[in-house]
Amino acid sequence: MNGKKTAYPLSDLKVLDFSRVLAGPFAGRMLSDLGADVIKVEPPEGDVTRFWGKEIANVQGYYHQQNIGKRNICIDLRAKGSSDLIKRLVQVADIVIENYRPEVMSRLGLGYQNLNETNPAIIMLSISGFGRDGPESHRPAYAPVIHAEAGLIHRNWTRNGGTLHDLPISLADTNAALHGLVATLAAIHMRNKTGSGQHIDIAMIDATAATDDQLQYDLEDSFVTAPLPNEVWETGFGHVLISSDFRLFFRLLVDHSGLTDPSTSGMELEEKISSRRKAVGDLLRTITEKKEFVSIMTEINVAWGEVRDPKTLAKQKTIVHRNAIIDTDDRNGGMRPTTQSPYRFSNAKSGVGEKTSHRGEDYETVLNEWLGLNSDEVTELFDQKIVLHDPDWIAK
């Protein structure tokens, strides 16, 4: 049974999460953090992210981050009778999440039309790279593919130089997941008014374009009208990003921090700019104490950020204050770090679940609580090789 009480906004919702890797699992993780009973339906071969990251008690770090809080049942969707079991689960579910290629669920007899016939109120969230019905709908896509197709890799290269390379974050996946989450909650709201379910088609390329605040400059070839880019500067205590137009930053330092303008009236523009940038760089490198730098930035009211090694993020002041990274059960008698739910309510709760389940670990409780199956009925599903579990996991 879902242990999260009514203080969690989504504690009355049941979710079947068929998704793998990131775009779907991240949406499911957020639903779990908000209180939904999320059941990850994992295939016999397992989610590929079970091979990624630090392994503790047969749970890898990447999988842990995206699936903590979900219960797990392993079902072979190719086995005879598996679609009947899934449809029984769908009858009592509110939401289904999947991010297979568009034809896969239908081929298994589990497409939206099939599930809608089983439960007209079901909401199905489908996330794919290029949408369900376009000219590229059958292309396989991970985040880097969308980063390339959506222009992010090219833009990063033209603005920053160097070689063409992917972004160090799966932005296309997480954007699609969050847009999928918004659409799912909107569909829940609409269902409350109409009683009818919904099929949501989220394309990663759409979601990336919709959340790209720099795209308008590219579409209209107007980047020259944009603010000057933020810059990273070296100080005596490390690198910092200054979020300000250099021209304003320079003038503020001259007016309030004792910086002398080295330029002269006879200088060409490029020489003037170069001399001013050197003066600012020289000044910043003389600042060896972070508190002195903070005092200057506070005085001139300029936003800045320390260029932090992400390995140290758990020590960042606000992260610590808001418990944004917490220790969770590592399934081995110890603890491991995990990102906390980002949602903060005035009169409700959200929060990461207690554990990350092994493949198939929760089959008994899920089948009993959702479908009322007894041990003999569960055993029969095992004998038919419809339901499986990892024989190596140890419940703790």
pLDDT tens digits, one per residue of 26-71:
999 999 999 999 999 999 999 999 999 999 999 999 999 999 999 9
Name the catalytic one among 173, 201, 329, 330: 173
- Work out the percent of the chain whose per-residue pLDDT is above 70: 98
Could you tell me the pLDDT band of residue 160, with boundaries at 50, 70 and 90? confident
| 75 touches 366 (CB < 8 A) | no
pTM of the model: 0.91
| 218 touches 151 (CB < 8 A) | yes
Could you tell me the pLDDT band of residue 227, with boundaries at 50, 70 and 90? confident
Assess whether 173 carries a catalytic annotation: yes
| 84 touches 74 (CB < 8 A) | no
Helices (H), the chain: 23-33, 61-67, 82-92, 104-107, 112-118, 143-149, 152-160, 171-194, 204-210, 215-219, 246-256, 269-285, 290-300, 317-321, 363-371, 375-383
The predicted model gives 113-118 an average pLDDT of 95
Could you tell me the pLDDT band of residue 2, with boundaries at 50, 70 and 90? low
Per-residue pLDDT at 209 exceeds 50: yes
Strand, helix or coil for residue 44: coil
The predicted model gives 334-349 an average pLDDT of 95
| 117 touches 109 (CB < 8 A) | no
Domain formed by 14-214+316-388, architecture: 3-Layer(aba) Sandwich (3.40)
Domain with CATH 3.40.50.10540 in the chain: 14-214+316-388
Domain formed by 227-308, architecture: 2-Layer Sandwich (3.30)
For tokens 């004792």, the residue is 258
Per-residue pLDDT at 72 exceeds 90: yes
Domain with CATH 3.30.1540 in the chain: 227-308
